[in-house]
Amino acid sequence: MKRNLAIILVSVILSGLTAFFVSKYALNHAQPSALNRDGQPVKTVNLSVEDYPDFTYAAENTVDAVVYVQVKVKSRAQLNNPFFEFFFGEQYKDQFERLQQGSGSGVIIKPEGYIVTNNHVVADATEIQVVLNNNKTYPATVVGTDPATDVALIKIEAEEELPAIEFADSDALRLGEWVLAIGSPLGKELQSTITAGIVSAKGRSMPNYTGEFKIESFIQTDAAVNPGNSGGALVNKAGQLVGINTAIISTTGSYAGYSFAVPSNIVSKIVSDLIEFGNVKRAKLGVSMSAITTEMAKEKGLKSLEGAYIHEVATGSAAEKAGIKPGDVIVGIDDTPINTPAALQEKVNSYRPGDTITVKVNRGGETLNLQCTFFEEPTTPITKS
């Protein structure tokens, strides 16, 4: 009994001494806490050298894979000659062919010479020249184009294996994440220019003045982009391709702080289709939709503004066969949340006919998971009133 009491007493003393020395060590080695003006502690962040936004790795590992694209386009123009018009009438107006030059940028995505650029860079081109970062020049041919996403794929035959940029998952991009824009703003003289910015927004749409079908779900950045950057690379800090720079919004025609890129997930799918099939195999859901406004939410009794509100469902479409109905709000595709119509459009565009997806729908306060299979044949387009 006495022995047990002695053991317990020794244990208590040792525990007390251990706690004393641990507390003393902790106090001696504690980092001083930061206090605000009211004497309250505030959080501090300690960054190592590796945590600072150093872009040298991304820049040095991607700049050689971004090229300068020069195109020639023939256009017909009329030459008004008042002398001939006076004697022979307007049918004698002279017509002649005019050779115009344009330029942009491109991104090597495969070592064998496949290059992604914008459709508007190479559209109607009669001749395409690609200048590498080492100033070697090669003629290029068009593999395929997709005006709906403004993506084009061209190819050169080089004698050496070319540096290529790896695709990243653009869905994983975060707001505020650092990105680099690489291209040739304002022409050959500024080839391989690198600018930095952050992801300002995702899923941006821009007005479509032509009336053509467009898939617009852009990454918005504040990296400086100017005419000539079109078709160039938008890369993350790891040197991976997250987008193809496509457009700017400006009142002057030059950079004003807003630049837009086609997400890499869309580009990757388009490129794969063009290489494998020669054209784009585009999945179609067959719905007319819109964003949810505050007024619409009150009118329809919706509890949230997130999602894509379905106004109409095309007869015989994939959406109709899946059980999607007017008045539904699509809030998810597979594991991806859908907050806007642009996000829905972008996600659907990543699939091909024949693929089956799970569509998460809010209907009258109830959440449904509907199985939807896309068809090979396109559905009849519908117009929202």
Q: Are residues 178 and 152 in the same domain?
A: no
Write the pLDDT tens digit of every residue in 214-244: 777 899 999 999 889 999 999 999 999 999 9
Q: Within this chain, do residues 238 and 175 fall inside the same structural domain, yes or no?
A: yes
Of 276, 302, 333, which residue is a domain's last?
Answer: 276
What is the domain range of residue 261?
170-276
**Catalytic choice (103, 170, 230, 288):** 230
Give the rounded percent of residues in the chain with a pLDDT score beyond 90. 57
Spatial distance between the Cα atoms of 164 and 152, rounded to a whole number of angstroms: 17
Global pTM value: 0.76
Q: Is residue 209 part of a domain?
A: yes
Q: Is residue 230 flagged as an active site residue?
A: yes
Q: pLDDT band for 205, please (50, 70, 90 cuts).
A: confident
**260 by DSSP, 3-state: which?**
strand
Same structural domain for residues 145 and 181?
Answer: no
The CATH number of residue 263's host domain is: 2.40.10.10
Higher pLDDT, 63 or 90: 63
Cα(227)–Cα(176) distance, rounded to whole angstroms? 24
In the chain, how many domains are there? Answer: 3
Q: What's the pLDDT score for residue 334? A: 93
Residue 78 has phi, psi (to 5 degrees) of: -100, 140
The reply to whether 379 falls in a domain is no
Cα–Cα distance for residue pair 117/115, rounded to 1 Å: 7
Asked if 312 contacts 280 with a C-beta cutoff of 8 angstroms, the reply is: no
Last residue of a domain, one of 122, 156, 190: 156
* Assigned domain for 104 exists: yes
Per residue in 167-189, pLDDT (tens digit) is 999 989 999 999 999 999 988 88
Do 200 and 224 lie in one domain? The reply is: yes
Q: What pLDDT score was predicted for residue 382?
A: 38
- C-beta atoms surrounding 124 within 10 Å: 11
The verdict on whether 29 is a catalytic residue reads: no
Query: Are both 296 and 346 inside the same structural domain?
Result: yes
| Selected catalytic residue, list 64, 120, 222, 250 | 120
User: Which one has a higher pLDDT value, 45 or 312?
Assistant: 312
270 plus 291 within the same structural domain: no
3-state secondary structure of 312: strand
Residues 198 and 266 occupy one common structural domain: yes
User: Token match 């001696």: residue?
Assistant: 28
Residue 91: per-residue pLDDT = 53
Tens of pLDDT, residue by residue over 2-14, are: 555 555 555 656 5
The answer to whether residues 136 and 227 belong to one domain is: no
Is 184 one of the catalytic residues? no
Q: Which of 146, 150, 273, 328 is catalytic?
A: 150
pLDDT at residue 103 greater than cutoff 80: yes
Lookup: tokens for 372 = 């939807």
* Cβ–Cβ < 8 Å for 347, 330: no
pLDDT at position 138: 96
Q: Let me know if residue 58 belongs to a domain.
A: no
